[in-house]
């Protein structure tokens, strides 16, 4: 069986949500700056319409990769699970957009030059979004620091009784358990394959039914882990964020501001380039 022959590497190779330990500028940058930069680039990615500006955005992401010192193979493992979704979005847009000159037509299928351009842009946007998210947040920032950054940025909402600390903690736990659930899924699939399960052959419906033998134990394991975590937090007298102190409080440095300004200027330049080329 193919999954057994691969030794379950398919799931272990997924780097989504995993922290990549390195000594780089982005790793040392204040997580609040990186969170704000992520929001800026999130807007920029969906604002850009020009292919040339999108190509320039790709160069900026390469700069982020160099600044992070993350292995390119790790980034590839992060975006590879999203490629089928990007391809699906591209095909969907390709077949539904009818504006522009027709370049291919067969029965009810019509492909236009404008539709091909827009479909390609949508797929590339999704890939760039995952790459930027990984480089600015998950690969270069630990879940604990992300939670601290979110709690600090949204602290003004405490005035209107928003549970900022609890929300940040839940997001931190969710990010922390993504790799754990991937490993748990891999173990369950190996156990089921050793019992004769087959996930690579048969019809699509039969393969989907086969994955039920993975989903049910995975849900049971997830609920068990959640209960164990709740008991552990209760045993340590966790009562929310009121009156809690931090071992390593966030401190903004000059280099953090310089990195933030540099990346913000790059984002602003991309927007100006896009507006000029339209």
| Domain ranges across the chain | 2-277
Instruction: Give the distance from CA 61 to its chain's centroid.
Output: 14
- pLDDT, position 34: 93
What average pLDDT does range 46-73 have in this prediction?
89
Mean pLDDT computed over every residue of the chain: 82
Lowest-confidence range among 40-54, 74-88, 202-216? 202-216
pLDDT at 267 over 80: yes
CA distances to 95, 109, 140 from 106, rounded to whole Å, are 11, 5, 47
- pLDDT, position 162: 82
What average pLDDT does range 49-59 have in this prediction?
89
What average pLDDT does range 171-191 have in this prediction?
81
- pLDDT, position 146: 84
Distance CA 20, CA 71 (A): 9
If we measure between CA atoms, which residue out of 39, 54, 123, 33 comes closest to residue 87? 123
Q: pTM here?
A: 0.74
Instruction: Tally Cβ neighbours within 10 Å of residue 81.
Output: 15
- pLDDT, position 4: 39
Q: How confident is the model at residue 100 (pLDDT cuts 50, 70, 90)?
A: confident
What average pLDDT does range 147-165 have in this prediction?
84
């Amino acid at each position: 069986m193919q999954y057994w022959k691969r030794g379950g590497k398919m799931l272990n190779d997924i780097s989504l949500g995993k922290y990549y330990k390195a000594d780089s500028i982005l790793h040392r940058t204040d997580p609040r700056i990186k969170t704000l930069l992520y929001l800026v680039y999130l807007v920029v990615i969906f604002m850009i319409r020009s292919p040339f500006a999108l190509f320039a955005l790709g160069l900026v992401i390469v700069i982020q990769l160099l600044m992070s010192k993350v292995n390119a193979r790790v980034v590839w493992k992060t975006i590879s699970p999203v490629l089928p979704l990007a391809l699906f979005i591209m095909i969907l847009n390709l077949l539904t957009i009818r504006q522009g000159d027709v370049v291919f037509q067969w029965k009810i299928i019509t492909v236009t030059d404008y539709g091909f351009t827009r479909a390609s842009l949508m797929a590339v946007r999704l890939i760039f979004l995952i790459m930027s998210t990984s480089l600015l947040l998950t690969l270069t920032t630990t879940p604990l620091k992300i939670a601290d950054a979110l709690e600090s940025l949204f602290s003004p909402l405490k005035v209107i009784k928003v549970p900022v600390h609890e929300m940040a903690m839940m997001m931190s736990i969710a990010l922390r358990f993504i790799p754990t659930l991937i490993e748990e899924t891999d173990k369950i699939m190996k156990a089921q394959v050793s019992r004769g399960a087959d996930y690579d052959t048969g019809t699509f419906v039969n393969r989907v039914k086969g994955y039920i033998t993975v989903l049910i134990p995975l849900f049971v394991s997830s609920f068990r882990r959640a209960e164990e975590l709740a008991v552990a937090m209760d045993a340590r007298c966790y009562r929310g964020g009121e009156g809690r102190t931090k071992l390593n409080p966030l401190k903004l440095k000059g280099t953090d501001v310089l990195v933030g300004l540099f990346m913000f200027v790059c984002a602003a330049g991309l927007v100006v380039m896009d507006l000029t080329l339209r």
